[in-house]
Amino acid sequence: MSSNGLVKASRKRLINLFFVLIALVGVIAWAENTGRNASFAPQLALDLQGGTEIILAPSLADGAVLQEGQLEQAVEIIRQRVDATGVSESSIQTQGSGNNAAIVVSIPGTPDESTLKLIKASALLEFRPVLATSMATNSAVGGDGSSATPSAPPASAPIATSSAKPSSGSDLNWVSKEIQAEYDALICRSSADSLAADFREPGQVDDPAVPLVTCDREGVIKYILGPVEISGSRIEDASAAARTTNTGAVLNEWAVSLDFDADGTKEFAAVTKRLYPLTEPLNQFAVTIDGYVITAPSTNAVITSGQAEITGSFDQTSSKELADQLKYGSLPIGFEVQSQSNISATLGTSQLYNGLLAGLIGLILVVIYSLFQYRALALVTIGSLIVAAVLTYLVIAVLSWRQGYRLSLSGVAGLIVAIGVTADSFIVYFERVRDELREGRPLTSAVETGWLRARRTILVSDAVNLLAAGTLYVLTVGNVRGFAFTLGLTTLIDLAVVWLFTHPLLQLLAHTKFFSSGHKWSGFDVQSAAVYRGRGEFKVSALVSEGKAKKASGEAIRRQTLAERKAANATDQKEID
Partner 1 sequence: MGRFSKFGNSLYTGERSIDFVGRRKIWYSIAAVVLLLSVLLPALRGGFHFGIEFRGGSEFRVSQAADQGTDLAISTIESVDAALNPIVTTVGAGDLRIQTEKLSDDASEVVRTALAKAYGVESADVSSSFIGASWGEEVTGKAIAGLLWFMALAAVLMALYFRTVKMSIAAMAALAHDLVATAGIYGALGFEVTPAAVIGFLTILGYSLYDTVVVFDKIRENTEEVEFSETATFKERVNLAINQTLVRSINTTIVAVLPVAAILFIGAYFLGAGTLKDISLALFIGMLVGTYSTIFIAAPLYSQLREGEKKFSKAATKVVAAR
Give min distance, CB of 355 to partner 1, in A.
6
Cβ neighbours for 86, distance < 8 A, ≥ 6 positions apart: 403, 404, 405
At residue 185's C-alpha, the angle toward residues 168 and 221, to 5°, is 65
Site string for partner 1, 370-399 (x = CB under 8 A): x-xx--------------------------
For residues 273-292, one letter each, b for 16 or more C-beta atoms within 10 angstroms of the residue's C-beta and e for the rest, the string is ebbbeeebbbbbbbbbbbbb
106: closest CA among 404, 344, 414? 344
Q: How near is the Cβ of 148 to partner 1 at its closest, in Å?
A: 45
In whole angstroms, how close is the CB of 373 to partner 1 at the nearest point?
6
How large is the C-alpha radius of gyration of the chain?
Answer: 34
Under rule CB under 8 A, residue 219 binds partner 1: no
- CB 495 → partner 1: shortest distance, Å? 13
Nearer residue to partner 1 within complex by CB, 38 or 92: 92
The stretch near partner 1 (CB under 8 A) out of 237-245, 253-261, 442-450, 551-559 is: 551-559
Site residues (CB under 8 A) for partner 1, limited to 414-453:
414, 416-417, 419-421, 423-424, 427-428, 431, 434-435, 438, 453
Cα separation, 362 vs 527, whole angstroms: 32
Shortest separation between residue 479's beta carbon and partner 1, angstroms: 5
| Minimal distance, residue 50 CB to partner 1, in Å | 7
Give the per-residue contact string, 528-547, with partner 1 (x = CB under 8 A; - = no).
xxxxx-----------x---
25 touches 394 (CB < 8 A): yes
What backbone phi and psi angles, to 5 degrees, belong to 273?
-65, -40
Q: Are 310 and 123 spatial neighbours (Cβ–Cβ below 8 Å)?
A: no
DSSP conformational letter for 198: T
Least distance in Å: CB of 41 to partner 1?
21
Nearest approach, Cβ of residue 563 and partner 1 (Å): 8
Q: Which is nearer to partner 1, 67 or 93 (CB)?
A: 93
Q: How many residues bind partner 1 (CB under 8 A)?
A: 103
Nearest to partner 1 of 204, 445 (CB atom):
445
By CB under 8 A, which span of 19-27, 118-126, 303-311, 358-366 interacts with partner 1?
358-366
- Residue 25 or residue 371: which is nearer to partner 1 going by CB? 371
Angstrom CA distances, 269 to 229, 257, 304, 316, 326, stand at: 11, 16, 5, 29, 20
- One of 142, 145, 154, 359 touching partner 1 (CB under 8 A): 359
Site for partner 1 in 331-350 (CB under 8 A): 339, 341-347, 350
Query: Which residue's CB is nearer to partner 1, number 273 or number 455?
Result: 455
> Which among 181-189, 235-243, 256-264, 456-464 is the span making contact with partner 1, rule CB under 8 A?
456-464
Min dist. Cβ of residue 63 to partner 1 (A): 24
Identify any residues that bridge with 377 across adjacent strands, giving them in sequence order.
Answer: none
Binding partner 1 by CB under 8 A: which of 444, 449, 516, 560? 560
Separation between Cα atoms, residue 277 and residue 161, nearest integer Å: 20
- Name the nearest CA neighbour of 118 among 406, 343, 319, 402: 319
Question: Minimum distance from CB of 81 to partner 1 (Å)?
Answer: 14
Binding flags for partner 1, 475-504, as an x/- string (CB under 8 A): xxxxxx--x---x-----------------
Give whichever of 220 and 364 is closer to partner 1, judged by the CB atom: 364
Which residues from 39-98 bind partner 1, rule CB under 8 A?
47, 50, 53, 71-72, 75-76, 79, 91-97
Contact 239, 323 (CB under 8 A): yes
209-248 CB burial, b ≥16 within 10 A, e <16: eebbbbbbbbbebbbbbbbbbbebebbeebebeebeeeee
**Parallel/antiparallel/unpaired status of strands 250-260 and 538-540:** unpaired
How far CA 565 is from CA of 168, 533, 556, in Å, comes to 87, 13, 12
- Cα separation of 43 and 199, whole Å? 41
From the list 168, 173, 351, 449, which residue makes contact with partner 1 (rule: CB under 8 A)? Answer: 351
Name which of 320 and 503 has its Cβ closer to partner 1: 503
Closest CA to 338 of 122, 120, 519, 91: 120
Please report, as a single letter, which amino acid is at residue 310: I
